[in-house]
Amino acid sequence: MSARLGLPFLAAVLLLSVATGALTAPSARATTNWGLWVNPGVSSNYLTCGWHSTCFSPFTWGNALDWNNDPYTHKNVYWRSWATADTGSGTMAYAYPYDATGTCYGAGAKVYDLGWTERGRVVWLHTQLGAGAPTVYVQGSWIGSFTSAGPMGTTVETDKSGCPFDGPHLHQYSSASGWFANTGVYPNAPSQGTGYSLGAQTNWQNRTSWTW
């Protein structure tokens, strides 16, 4: 998709998907377990600050990472994810873009399951939502399927007054209970890192799961 879609249209898509089988499955729908692993959406693979709430001393822990995006060469922010289903394959969720601006400029994506229940949000701070940010049809399968879409937005050069901001970068996190951080790959603040393969299945940043 090259443009955002309204919720009425998405609801129609959802009904059509259910009618035609958005996810290949047996004719009588059984309960399915879903897993969603969201990768960093950054354009540069340089981690500037490990797990934190805000990257200022005393470095309170949070499920956010800071990445070295800039408003020039590495400005775009993308959706990247891996998803699994214990049966079937195909579209397993929708990620609908929205303006997440509050104290800071932000772009986000609300994650909905096939029953149209919100399962959490992915937020990219210090980011301007793109006018053409697409609704993401998240793909899943029992072995894991990769989905990449966007750009969802672009990194800003300066942020709002009152926003904790020490220069252009991407601050990415998930905003819901039941989401977990990949502390096995990424360090705690104030540690940094580089050389990450941004689309690798093992390099997810935040994950969640549900049953439907």
pLDDT digits (tens, 9 = 90+) for 6-54: 444 444 443 434 343 454 443 455 678 999 999 999 999 999 999 999 9
Using the structure block, give the residue that is written with the tokens 């005393």: 58
Q: Bridge partners of 84?
A: 35, 141
* pLDDT for 13: 40
Domain locations along the chain:
7-18+35-197+203-207
pTM as predicted: 0.84
Alpha helices in the chain (DSSP H): 7-20
pLDDT in tens, 108-152: 999 999 999 999 999 999 999 999 999 999 999 999 999 999 999
